[in-house]
Structure 1
Amino acid sequence: MIKFFRHIRKRLLSESKFSKYLLYAIGEIILVVIGILIALQINNWNESRKDSARENLILKQLQSEYQSNLHQLDEKILMRNEGLQACHFLLNQIDNPESVNESKFYTHLGEIFRDPTFDPIKNDIIGSGNLRLIKNDTLVRFLSNWSSEVYQVQEMELEFQKFRTEIIIPCYNRLGISRNMHNNLWKDGYTPTEALDKEASSTLTIEPTKKDLDLQKVLQDVELEGIVSTVITTHQITNLQSETLRNRILNILKIIEREIDE
């Protein structure tokens, strides 16, 4: 084809038909430009197809991650709800010491001793630059804000961790109830809510304390009463934040599912 055009060009020049040669040259330039544009279009189409395939792969990965995050967050919300129920039971026992149920008292002390912490799967979609592949602007906004929203929940959890370590544990030790609480926890078998294997159950024998322990005095302890009421407030606020985060995950999953189906 190139030889053909070259032959025409030489013939027109040899015949001194400059005007025809000029028209031919312009036509040849147009053909070259059209060829370049077609090649660019094909290349753009190929790149677009590759980007769509990569986007689909990223969306499926995000779908799996956020489903796992949702499952874990639900567990933490459940743990705090169990802690809230335990707190209300303990306050009832404190207010009505004459009807105390020792075994249940220690069981519920163990419930508020637990430390629910949300640790979602971390992906590097923002840092890697792959966020540009996602076309849905709402999803991009949700993913961009995710880390800061998670931090708001984790911030509350860290406060409770500190409270647990610095206040709850020393109080239990001061009252002399730690051994009895742990014995009550393990004696009949125990499977934590957050256990990886929900079918597993561990049993330990610790035996109650041999020291003299007056449970009625424990129930009269004002620090213990304050701890229980503080746990109620802390867990309630953290769960409110967690429910907002849960709705965010549900919205993210809904958008991802719609984008994958398209």
Structure 2
Amino acid sequence: MENKTGKYFKYAIGEIVLVVIGILIALQINNWNEQRKDNIKEQGLLKQLQEDYQSNLLQLEEKMVTREISLNSAVKLLNAFDESDGVVKDSVIKDLANIRHDPTFDPIKNNLTSSENLRLIRNNELRRLLSNWSSDVVGVTEVETTWSNLVNEQYHPIISELGLGRDIYNSFVNDTEHNWLLDKNSNSFKSEIGISKLSAPLNEMLINKELESMISASIVFNRGANLQSEALRQRILEILELIAEEIK
């Protein structure tokens, strides 16, 4: 009986070991399968993020170019205020139309960087950068919003008071570069607004203190926005580089 009991005991232990091994193998296979599914999801997520951030980069760079145009025009206008000899009114109008631009960066919004999706990304540095993306954008949008408010609340009243609204809007839709248009070669935005007979003469424009102040402000805010944008641009390039390293 003792011999039989020992054999049964050894047999039972063996059965338990086999069951445990079977369970462990099944769990491992299941883990491998889940990991494979997560890897597939991660690759799909990375490719979509790559596409989105490339679009964000393109948009940001276009806004930076638009601000550079505004900055160049603002400098020319201040020079005209300082020395008006040889200044042509049409050129001043075009430059005033250029500084009227208030480009705003509007990155693609989606749920790709939700906590559930970020869990799939194994690269810790990439996950950190994606998690901080929203706060990084704020530095640019705050400056943009302030300048946009100044354009609407102060710049427009000044040019209206000088009777320059029609001339500036005519230049804005027909002469200035529109980097914010989807179709850069389209002429559909052009419109026959024409030139006003009521606009202030050049000498009156170039002694207007409020106008000079707004031109100066445009330099400060557009330069500040572009400095913030350059920092954000570097962040996007860093994100894209990490994504490219993770895509198989």
Q: Identity of paired residues, percent?
A: 47
Q: CA deviation at 1:181?
A: 1.6
CA contact (8 A) 1:83 1:112 kept: yes
Where in structure 2 are the equivalents of 1:5-84 lying within 5 Å?
Answer: 17-84=4-71
Q: CA deviation at 1:65?
A: 0.3
Q: Distance in 1 between matches of 2:98 and 2:157?
A: 16
1:255 and 2:242 are equivalent in the alignment = yes
Query: What SS class does the counterpart of residue 129 from structure 1 fall into?
Result: helix
> Paired residue for 1:200?
186
Q: CA deviation at 1:191?
A: 5.4
Query: What SS class does the counterpart of residue 106 from structure 1 fall into?
Result: helix
Q: CA deviation at 1:97?
A: 1.2
Query: What SS class does the counterpart of residue 197 from structure 1 fall into?
Result: coil
> Paired residue for 2:209?
222
CA contact (8 A) 2:73 2:96 kept: yes
The total of aligned residue pairs comes to 247
The one-letter amino acid paired with 1:223 is E
Q: TM-score, normalised by structure 1?
A: 0.90
Q: Distance in 1 between matches of 2:171 and 2:244?
A: 46
Query: What SS class does the counterpart of residue 97 from structure 1 fall into?
Result: coil
Higher relative contact order (CA 8 A, sep 6+): 2
Q: CA deviation at 1:200?
A: 0.5
Q: CA deviation at 1:199?
A: 1.0
The one-letter amino acid paired with 1:220 is I
Structure 1 unmatched ranges of 5 or more: 1-12
Cα-to-partner distance string for 1:19-49 (whole Å, 9 max, x where unaligned): 0110111011000100000000000000000
Cα-to-partner distance string for 1:99-149 (whole Å, 9 max, x where unaligned): 211111111101100110000001213435111000000001000100011
The one-letter amino acid paired with 1:131 is L
Q: Distance in 2 between matches of 1:254 and 1:239?
A: 22
Query: What SS class does the counterpart of residue 213 from structure 1 fall into?
Result: coil
Structure 2 unmatched ranges of 5 or more: none
CA contact (8 A) 2:67 2:226 kept: yes
Query: What SS class does the counterpart of residue 74 from structure 1 fall into?
Result: helix
CA contact (8 A) 1:191 1:200 kept: no
Query: What SS class does the counterpart of residue 31 from structure 2 fall into?
Result: helix
Where in structure 2 are the equivalents of 1:155-170 lying within 5 Å?
Answer: 155-170=142-157
Q: Distance in 1 between matches of 2:147 and 2:201?
A: 28
Q: Distance in 2 between matches of 1:62 and 1:214?
A: 53
Q: Distance in 1 between matches of 2:199 and 2:169?
A: 17
> Paired residue for 1:244?
231
Query: What SS class does the counterpart of residue 93 from structure 1 fall into?
Result: helix
Q: CA deviation at 1:190?
A: 5.8
Specify which of 138, 158, 170 is matched with residue 183 of structure 1: 170
The one-letter amino acid paired with 2:185 is E
Q: Distance in 1 between matches of 2:236 and 2:210?
A: 38
> Paired residue for 2:158?
171
Query: What SS class does the counterpart of residue 17 from structure 1 fall into?
Result: helix
Q: Distance in 1 between matches of 2:110 and 2:103?
A: 22
Which consecutive segments of 4 or more residues in structure 1 shift more than 6 A? Answer: none
1:93 and 2:93 are equivalent in the alignment = no
Q: Distance in 1 between matches of 2:145 and 2:173?
A: 27
Per the alignment, do residues 103 and 212 of structure 1 end up closer, same or farther by CA in structure 2, a change over 3 Å counting? closer
The one-letter amino acid paired with 2:178 is P
The more displaced of 190-199 and 162-171 is: 190-199
